[in-house]
Amino acid sequence: MRIRQPALAAIAALLLPTLAHAEEVILKVAHFLPPISTMHAKVIEPWCEKIAAESGGKLKCQIYPSMQLGGTPPQLLNQARDGIADVVWTLPGYTPGRFPASEVFELPFITTTHEASARAMWDFVQKNAMKEFAGLKPLATWVNGPNVLHFRDKRVNTLEELKSMKVRAPSRLSNSLLDALGATPVGMPVPQMPEALSKGVIEGALIPWEVVPATKTQELTRFHAELGSERAMTTATMIYVMNKRKYESLSPELKKVIDNNSGREFSAWVAAQHVKADAAGREATVASGGTIYTIPAAEMAKWEAAAAPVTETWIKDTRDGKRLHDEAVALVKQYTK
C-alpha cells in the first residue's frame, strides 16, 4: 500500500485538470442574423455571459450567427431538435404548420406592448402549446415590436394605394393579412429581404423597426408607415429554445442555471431589448432621411375591418380555435398595464 498510495496520488493529480475540463459544457448557439443584430449583441451574448458567470465557468457558449452551421433559417428548428445546435433563436413563422396554436399571437390586433405580450405568450405556450416544442426546451417566447410597412418608392396612405403591391411578410398569418388588405404578399425570411428590395422583387416589407439597421432597410426604402392602433396590426412570434436531450444531460447544478435564465420574466426581458432596438432602428431611419408617417385612426379602422376575416378563418380552421384566441386575448389584457 505504501508503494501504491504515491502512485495513486500522482495519477489523481494528473487527472484533476482533465476532470475539471470535463465539467465544462460548451453550448452551440445558432441564429440567422449578423453579430450587429439586436438578438446577437443585446440578448444572446449577455445571456451567454450570465450563464457562464452563474455556473462558475462550467457553461459556455460558442455562438454561430448568420447560419454559420449551414442551412437556411427555416432549418434552425430541426438543427436544434437534431443536436446540430444546442440552442437556437428563430421565428416559428419560418416553418408554417409546426406551431398551430402559438401562432395565435400573430393574428391581427392581438398584441399590445412587447413585455406584456411576451409574458402572455409564455403562459399560453406552457398551458396550450408544449406539444409544438417536442424535443425542445423553451427558454423564452415573445413577440417583436409592431411591424411597420417600409416602401421602396411609394408613400402608401390608404388600402386602395396598397392594392396589388408586392410586400414581404415573415409568416403564414402575416401573408394572409397582407392578402386581406389587398396587397400581394411575398413570404421570405428576413435575410433574403434586402436583396429582394434592392432588385425590386418586392416593393415593400413588413418588419419592426429593430430589424432595420441589421438589414440596411433604411438605405433601401424611402417611406415608412407606422400603423396607428393601441394593438399591433401584426407582429412575429419568436422563440429561444434548447435541445431537450442536451438540457437533460446537464448536472442538476447546471440545469438550475439554465432554469434561472429562462421563463416568463426572461421572455419579458428579451422583449424589452426589442423596445430599445425599435427606437434605435427608427432613429437610423430618420438619420437616413426616410419619411416616417402614421396611418390615421379613421383609415386604420378600415384596415382592421379588412383584417377581421383572417382571425375568423384562423378560429374556424384551428382545433379549439375560439378558446385559444380568447385565452390569448385575455392573457395580453391581463399583463397590459
Return per-residue pLDDT of the chain as tens, 337 residues: 344 554 444 444 444 443 344 579 999 999 999 999 999 999 999 999 999 999 999 999 999 999 999 999 999 999 999 999 999 999 999 999 999 999 999 999 999 999 999 999 999 999 999 999 999 999 999 999 899 999 999 999 999 999 999 999 989 999 999 999 999 999 999 999 999 999 999 999 999 999 999 899 999 999 999 987 789 999 999 999 999 999 999 999 999 999 999 999 999 999 999 999 999 999 999 999 999 999 999 999 999 999 999 999 999 999 999 999 999 999 999 999 8
> 106-145: string of b/e by CB count within 10 Å (b at 16+)?
bbbbbbbbbbbbbbbbbbbbeebbeebbeebbbbbbbbbb
Number of neighbours of residue 53 by Cβ within 10 angstroms: 11
User: Quick check: 247 and 137 in contact, CB under 8 A?
Assistant: yes
* Three-state DSSP state, 318: coil
Read off the C-alpha cell for 170: 415573415
Burial annotation 171-182 (CB, 10 A radius, 16+ → b, else e): bbbbbbbbebbe
pLDDT of residue 79: 98
Residue 230 pLDDT: 83
- Residue 223 in grid coordinates: 417611406
User: Does the pTM exceed 0.85?
Assistant: yes
- Contact call for residues 235 and 147 (beta carbons, < 8 A): yes
CATH code at 148-234+278-335: 3.40.190.170
Could you tell me which residues are beta bridge partners of residue 90? 239
pLDDT of residue 148: 95
Position 23 scores a pLDDT of 78
Listed residue (239, 214, 240, 211) closest to 47, CA to CA: 240
Q: Give pLDDT, residue 209.
A: 95
Element (H, E) at 17: helix 4-22
Sequence ranges of the domains in the chain: 148-234+278-335
User: What is the rounded distance in angstroms from the CA atom of residue 44 to the CA atom of residue 138?
Assistant: 15
